[in-house]
Structure 1
């Protein structure tokens, strides 16, 4: 049975808020539960209701990795009502929408697989699992069936969001899922992995983070990835992608893949002695989403608050297995799925951070230009429109352009995690996409 709670009745969290002198009230209503999407495969979800949820959209947030937890990182580090220190977040998306965090694929965050074959190995399984969850979610909470429902995503979550959106659109037409699907937003998303890898060199070189020798080394490594992708050797391509990242680190003295203005937050992973490339990539890209302080919060007071986490399940404990099982699908592009969404009339938004490296804007623009969507020529000819930064009136915070059912937002001074880097701008973008401004 789903768990309901008034956050102010949960003494374990309220005492922290009081001790920090918070004057802002916590969200009025939450709900969480598990869904068994396949035998032995359990996905955890956590819903925050907006104050006037009857009049506001519902947002599904999908984290990256694969193996990064939305209930943890997305919630407490990016868009949830409280930050990691359990202080109210001024730019929480719960101000403008009810927000549903889902720990997917199976094994992510508090989600878990009871046996090895419970993990997903491709985005098709991820999408079918999510359809089971959404079907049960909307049946369980019918008051949200008519709210405009958007899927927002980040990083690898965008690849999953595209696949999920396509299957959801079909399921709604068939009547198997009851919801008011209004669109999908792909944030710094792993839609065309090769386009990202092939533009790392030019991007880093143009920003004076590579010299000529470094550019040569990275170009060679990227060409190896390209050859593997072209030969449909996707597991090999994932391994070579890991090699290319090591080349980046060695030639930039450890530039941060999530924001080029910073260095890796901990020890250089180029010297990581964790064994195979799966462990290395988990160290690079999942560990930052599962910081020790966040892990302590999730496995301590949050676990106690939720009250439904099985005793043998640790938040984030299966994250590396999630990535390992998806490694053979990791480098597959899903540009064709975006094309199908556009052709079906689904509203699609792409948004990207100016300072992101792992999914750099150059690469995003490349795959967008490859779309077969009939509106692309008109979209391409359009000039973008500047947006003021809400935190600094008169200063440009972003550019955007939109044509028919496709939009692109370029978010300035932001890296991979846009809501963390530019919270006010991200919140304004959310309102624009959901037609609240």
Structure 2
């Protein structure tokens, strides 16, 4: 028997309540346009969207993202940006590297920190999707425990799934030139994902307008990255000629796995000499890493000042002499864990216990070298931009140069300086197969955090096809 109009309405409402209670995720909007952010004065001067994309239905893996449209033209290239770790939130890229926002930590007193607009953002010349990947990073989460078991190759596969679904929801960007990009440990993931896209295009015509990829201060292969540390610290005058020559001779130029006791002792001596040097940037102060608890700032690691008691949030202000780049991490985590902030960003309630800048993951490192991926991609002619801060000891530019040389590509444009505002911004060399290597003078790990103006000029020229 048919229901009356009122009865039908009641039936529908009852069914809707049942579905919302039993299956809440299906009824939460996957995308949210953000017009204002806590701590930012006034409306945002650019288009920001946040959201989730489910990349593994069986395990319930949801990747969170921030999408910022180009401030110049939405038809500009589209960059997928990945942050390293693995396990660091892509919010690092947005706030500290290539995005248009920053925290005013120098003037912080208490409460939520102020956020300011940064003009030297890559969103001046491109659309950027910042993805919290792999699952467990940032606000990304899984509805099952097994969903948190991930790896290099699994992260890349899930990101490929992310792109398929994201473009389905954003069809107007399908024709934009697509570039896969990232920094630090994402130097492993970027070429893996890029090759996954190429295979998908070649095998079944996947709808990706892929034009190339780029990696900053990339972790690539321990046989190059770690082997480069000793010659790097010698070249930077951090160890003596005598120690360098003794280490080089006893280790036969191989420093990762010492083959004899003399080599091991020399490497210990090198580590002892440089133990107090900041590995992210050898010219900056070396400071202890901030240790934080939910709702508190741990006071043992604020600048170069040490305290015996924990300082509750809100009492952090008035602490001056902030000399360390990472001393603001507790403030960042206070902001990201604030309920108002999470509501504004559209973070699903109950999915994240505590947001961390870099989370510890259950992660399998199943790709030991990204060099074969670079060889395949560049041999297919996909343009690549590999850039390094020349004061980075974590991923020394010497190691990056080494694996690029191992590709045996011919040099098209030999080593030369490149300029910004009439000043040398670094040095560059271009190889066959559209591979460009760039150093950013005075930058650390990672380059865009230390030299935003220069890195914006670099990416603007490279994306346009102009020589650096």
Which category of TM-score, normalised to the shorter sequence, fits these structures? Answer: 0.7 to 0.9
- Check 1:395–1:304 CA distance in 2 against 1; reply closer, same or farther (3 A cut): same
2:41 corresponds to 1:17: yes
Pairing partner for 2:287 from 244, 265, 285: 265
Q: CA deviation at 1:404?
A: 4.0
> What residue in structure 2 maps to residue 377 of structure 1?
410
> What residue in structure 2 maps to residue 95 of structure 1?
124
- Using the alignment, how far apart are the partners of 2:144 and 2:253 within structure 1? 36
Pairing partner for 1:3 from 28, 31, 43: 31
Secondary structure of 2:349's partner? coil
Greater Cα shift, 307-316 or 138-147? 307-316
Secondary structure of 1:432's partner? helix
**TM-score, normalised with respect to structure 2:** 0.74
> What residue in structure 2 maps to residue 307 of structure 1?
346
Contact 2:87 2:133 in 1 (8 A): yes
Q: CA RMSD in A?
A: 3.2
Contact 2:333 2:357 in 1 (8 A): no
Contact 1:144 1:179 in 2 (8 A): no
- Check 1:80–1:314 CA distance in 2 against 1; reply closer, same or farther (3 A cut): farther
2:170 corresponds to 1:170: no
Q: CA deviation at 1:251?
A: 2.1
Secondary structure of 2:438's partner? strand
1:373-422, CA deviations, whole angstroms, 9 ceiling, x for partnerless residues? xxx1244xx42332212xxx332012223344211111111111111111
> What residue in structure 2 maps to residue 46 of structure 1?
66
Q: CA deviation at 1:121?
A: 4.1
- Using the alignment, how far apart are the partners of 1:45 and 1:420 within structure 2? 20
1:224-256, CA deviations, whole angstroms, 9 ceiling, x for partnerless residues? 73479xxxxxxxxxxxxxx99997653224211
1:119-170, CA deviations, whole angstroms, 9 ceiling, x for partnerless residues? 3543211111111100000111000000111112101111100100000111
Pairing partner for 2:188 from 159, 172, 195: 159
> What residue in structure 1 maps to residue 425 of structure 2?
397
Q: Which runs of 5+ in 1 are unaligned?
A: 19-24, 229-242, 270-286
- Check 1:171–1:126 CA distance in 2 against 1; reply closer, same or farther (3 A cut): same
Q: How does 1:388-427 map to 2 (within 5 A)?
A: 388-389=419-420, 393-402=421-430, 403-427=432-456
Pairing partner for 2:376 from 329, 337, 340: 340
2:347 corresponds to 1:325: no
- Check 1:160–1:92 CA distance in 2 against 1; reply closer, same or farther (3 A cut): same
- Using the alignment, how far apart are the partners of 2:129 and 2:352 within structure 1? 21
Greater Cα shift, 357-366 or 172-181? 172-181
Larger radius of gyration: 2
- Using the alignment, how far apart are the partners of 1:246 and 1:114 within structure 2? 45
Pairing partner for 2:48 from 18, 22, 30: 30
- Check 1:17–1:141 CA distance in 2 against 1; reply closer, same or farther (3 A cut): same
> What residue in structure 2 maps to residue 273 of structure 1?
none
Q: CA deviation at 1:348?
A: 1.4
Secondary structure of 1:90's partner? coil
1:26-55, CA deviations, whole angstroms, 9 ceiling, x for partnerless residues? 333222211221223221111011234433
- Check 1:317–1:420 CA distance in 2 against 1; reply closer, same or farther (3 A cut): closer
> What residue in structure 1 maps to residue 274 of structure 2?
252
Secondary structure of 2:341's partner? helix
> What residue in structure 2 maps to residue 130 of structure 1?
159
